[in-house]
């Protein structure tokens, strides 16, 4: 199982290298980029990719071999691709990076499940399409073109790992974003110059916070400014920050000054009593006769 995973990883790495060099990759490029993989293993992978139409073989004027990545749309129209593959490919292509359920492919293609599974397996083997698990249905997969990056609605974005919501990761980011805003406010206060100037200096953009989080290196996944924007919004909802709109349509964020802690009296029964102003040492409303105060004292 581990060997198969390693082989798939080497295959995908080789494909990515070929994509990055549209003029073609040489055997020397492979040795330089993947020095830990034996050339014999690379040859097996290359032959497999050539057979499946993922790579094309060319010769230079100096008779050197070059391997070029072949666009997926050209693979299904190549000689040997049957009509069923072309039909299924077209349906999946139209679905874009949100993918399409196998049930919908079957409905649109009018193929029975045996035929459809055979076609899908063939297209996956040729690295033309791929199956992606969707966070909206853990036991179902959607199909999309191999080169596409799945939409966040499919993968859940940066906050999901193997379809599980990473609540601890979100909490850490929330805390670090708030820490940055607090530090920004403290620095602005130290510089002085009047309350209005301090207030303006304390505001930060999502781009500022994104750079701070990126420099910390606490995320194993690549986070976009939009990802940080969504975390900052949770800081605002926690009443730990405020945000204002910029003329350009973006937002600026600033840590909020917390209210003073409630004095002890406010937390007592007397502090929330609606008729406390009528309470006195004499009369029917007095501390000695108050059942609420007695119950509160007994509970302490």
Half-sphere exposure of 161 (CA within 13 A, CB side): 9
| Residue in 113, 82, 88, 84 with CA at minimum distance from that of residue 100 | 88
The residues that bridge with 254 in the sheet, in sequence order, are 242
Are residues 192 and 250 part of one domain?
Answer: yes
pLDDT beneath 50, residues of the chain: 1, 78-80
Q: What is the pLDDT of residue 1?
A: 46
Residue 117, domain extent:
75-155
Q: Is the dihedral of CA 134, 139, 145, 147 positive or negative?
A: positive
Supply the DSSP symbol for 289.
G
Confidence (pLDDT) at 177: 94
The pLDDT of residue 79? 47
What's the CA gap between 40 and 59, in Å, rounded?
Answer: 20
CA distances from 47 to 57, 63, 147, 149, 201 (A): 10, 19, 20, 26, 60
Give the separation between CA 222 and CA 295, rounded to whole angstroms.
56
According to DSSP, the β-strands at 204-205 and 241-245 are unpaired
Residues 43 and 10 in one domain: yes
Q: Give a yes or no: residue 160 inside a domain.
A: no
Q: Per residue in 102-135, pLDDT tens?
A: 999 998 888 899 989 999 998 988 888 998 887 7
Its pTM stands at 0.47
Return the pLDDT at 158: 65
pLDDT for the residue numbered 40: 86
CB atoms within 10 A of CB 150: 18
Which among 260, 293, 299, 261 has a CA at the least distance from the CA of 279? 293
Buried b (16+ CB within 10 A) or exposed e, 222-238: ebeeebbbbbbbbbeee
Same domain, 24 and 40: yes
Instruction: Note whether residue 216 is domain-resident.
Output: yes
DSSP assignment string, 93-112: HHHGGG-EEHHHHHHHHT--
Domain tally, the chain? 4
Burial class (CB in 10 A: 0-12, 13-18, 19+), 291: exposed
CA dist., res. 170 & res. 159, Å (int): 7
Residue 202: inside a domain: yes
Has residue 58 been placed in a domain? Answer: yes
Claim to verify: residue 218 and residue 240 sit in the same structural domain: yes
pLDDT at 258: 64
**Per-residue pLDDT tens over the stretch 249-288:** 889 999 987 655 556 666 677 777 777 788 888 888 888 8
Q: Which pLDDT score is estimated for 55?
A: 85
pLDDT at residue 253, as a whole number: 94
Quick one: 144 and 175 in the same domain? no
Asked if residue 197 and residue 140 are part of one domain, the reply reads no
Residues 6 or more apart whose CB falls under 8 angstroms from that of 64 comprise: 26
């Amino acid at each position: 199982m581990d060997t198969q995973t390693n082989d798939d990883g080497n295959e995908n790495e080789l494909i990515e290298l070929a994509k990055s060099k549209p003029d073609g990759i040489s055997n020397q490029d492979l040795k330089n980029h993947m020095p830990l993989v034996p050339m014999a293993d690379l040859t097996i992978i290359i032959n497999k990719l050539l057979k499946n139409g993922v790579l094309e073989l060319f010769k230079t004027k100096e008779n050197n071999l070059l391997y070029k990545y072949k666009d997926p749309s050209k693979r299904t129209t190549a000689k040997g691709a049957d009509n069923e593959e072309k039909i299924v490919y077209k349906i999946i292509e139209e679905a874009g990076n949100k993918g399409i359920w196998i049930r919908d492919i079957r409905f649109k293609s009018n193929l029975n499940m045996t035929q459809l599974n055979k076609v899908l397996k063939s297209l996956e083997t040729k690295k033309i399409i791929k199956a992606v698990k969707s966070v909206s249905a853990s036991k179902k997969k959607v199909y999309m073109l191999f080169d596409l990056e799945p939409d966040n609605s499919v993968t859940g974005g940066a906050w999901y790992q193997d379809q599980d919501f990473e609540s601890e990761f979100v909490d850490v980011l929330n805390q670090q974003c708030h820490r940055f805003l607090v530090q920004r406010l403290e620095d602005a206060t130290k510089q002085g110059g009047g309350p209005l100037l301090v207030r303006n200096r304390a505001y930060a953009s999502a781009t500022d916070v994104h750079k701070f989080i990126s420099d910390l290196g606490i995320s194993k996944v690549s986070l976009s400014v939009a990802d940080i924007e969504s975390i900052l919004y949770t800081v605002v909802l926690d009443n730990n920050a405020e945000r204002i709109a910029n003329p350009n349509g973006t937002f600026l964020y600033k840590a909020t000054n917390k209210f003073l802690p409630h004095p002890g009296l406010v937390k007592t029964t007397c502090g929330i009593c609606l008729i406390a102003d009528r309470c006195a040492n004499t009369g029917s409303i007095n501390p000695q006769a108050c059942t609420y105060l007695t119950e509160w004292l007994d509970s302490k």
